[in-house]
Amino acid sequence: MAEPAREELSALAAIFCGPDEWELKLILSLSVTDGTVFRILTKAEGLMGADVPLELVFHLPVNYPSCLPGISVHSEHLTRAQSVTVKEKLLQQAENLLSEPMVHELVLWIQQNLRHVLNQSDTGSGSTFATGMTVDDGLWLTLLRLDHMRAKTKYVKTVEKWASDLKLTGRLMFMGKIILILLQGDRSNIKEYLILQKTSRVDVDSSGKKCKEKMISVLFETKVQREHKRFLAFEVKEYSSLDELQKEFETAGLEKLFSEFVLGLLR
């Protein structure tokens, strides 16, 4: 498998990290079309405005992304004809993305355009599809943990730039050896941030060579609730005590998040 495809798989595993969102299966036969098969479970708005669960199965041949992936679409809420139409539209979109990793963009595209695809399937009309990748999921909140930063100054500047470019607010928090990133913003922009975090040479290894971040974990993600504070900017903060860190979470209306996911890191 080509290196871009390996990097994409690593990024996808970090992005689709919820319960049953991701399943990876390696194909072991010797055919020239062998590669990697994985499943992504997601949802998209259907004709009636309700979320439609989608099971998207991607087969990445060994020479992907120079060739199209295989795609299968399954949903108990779609007819067979509708599933075929969704598959065809995804493959058409994939043709515009050849030579670059495309799975995440295809998932975002169908999340945004499923309703239009189904409408075209039912009416036979030539509907116009949105070409942007932004998904209007409202404001989302994600908490990440980093294991370490060797090139701290450069790393911090890179994180600040990504947050600014993607219009994300929140906090980069240091407390002893604990490093947390709290992101708030459009869900698709947070997903894009995770791709950058997993695929960019943002740190250095023990020998001083540039390396990618392999020790990041997604602790929690949710749609922003009414009790959550809206962050106005992305700030870097250092805390001298656990009490200071806890107060930051409490001020943001995230007491439960702190007690369930942050306190456990200190044990």
The first and second tokens of residue 52, run together, are 């439609």
The domain defined by 3-120 carries CATH number 1.20.1740.10: no
pLDDT at 247 over 80: yes
pLDDT at 8 over 70: yes
Q: What is the pLDDT of residue 15?
A: 77
Q: What is the mean pLDDT of residues 248-263?
A: 90
* CATH 3.10.110.10 residue window(s) in the chain: 3-120
* CA 143/CA 49 separation, integer angstroms: 29
* CA 125/CA 152 separation, integer angstroms: 54
CA atoms within 13 A on the CB side of 244: 9
* CA 196/CA 174 separation, integer angstroms: 21
Residue with tokens 């200190």: 266
pLDDT at 193 over 90: no
Q: 139-265 — its CATH code?
A: 3.30.70.100
Q: What is the pLDDT of residue 200?
A: 75
| pLDDT tens string 119-166 | 876 554 443 344 433 333 468 999 998 887 877 888 899 899 889 988
| pLDDT tens string 23-42 | 554 433 334 446 788 888 88
The first and second tokens of residue 186, run together, are 């459009």
Long-range contacts of 189-192 (CB under 8 A, 24+ apart): 189/134, 190/140, 190/142, 190/166, 190/221, 191/15, 191/104, 191/108, 192/166
* CATH 3.30.70.100 residue window(s) in the chain: 139-265
Count of CB atoms situated within 10 Å of the CB of 206: 7
Give the rounded percent of residues in the chain with a pLDDT score beyond 70: 81
Q: What is the pLDDT of residue 62?
A: 82
**Is the distance from CB of 70 to CB of 58 less than 8 angstroms?**
yes
